[in-house]
Amino acid sequence: MLVGLNEILKAADEGGYAIPAFNVYNMETVMGVIKAAEELRAPVIMQFYSRLATTGFADYLAPVILKAAEMASVPVCMHLDHGAGYEAAAISLKNGASGIMVDFSKLSLEENIEKPPPQ
């Protein structure tokens, strides 16, 4: 079942456990992560990185992750890992991501503080 990042992290915090996050990049890695999570009866975060979103590959990978999450017996979050900006975040949301992490670490502290939130 697909769940949001906040939901899966809140449950882990309240339950006193950690949730693994795996970068996936094809159907085989998605299937492997789901199989292991189900065998352990553990929630899982499946991540894809920014380049997959901005090159169009997420258009192919996201449906695989979403179908796996739909069929899974454990909570699954589909998460953009270290997105390189708002474009990657928007593309990821369009593709059904239930968690987003935008990384502006290449900017100075001052630029990070001044960075406006997306509208």
List pLDDT tens digits, range 13-46: 999 999 999 999 999 999 999 999 999 999 999 9
Say which CATH number the domain at 30 has.
3.20.20.70
Provide the domain limits for residue 28.
5-114
Annotated active-site residue 81? The verdict is yes
Residue 84 forms part of a structural domain? yes
| DSSP state, residue 119 | -
Q: Please tell me which residue in 13, 59, 81, 103 is annotated as part of the active site.
A: 81
The answer as to whether 119 is a domain residue is: no
Count of the separate structural domains present in the chain: 1
Residues of the chain predicted below pLDDT 50: none
The long-range contacts involving 14-22, CB below 8 angstroms and separated by at least 24 positions, are 19/43, 19/44, 19/45, 20/44, 20/45, 21/45, 21/46, 21/47, 21/79, 21/81, 22/46, 22/47
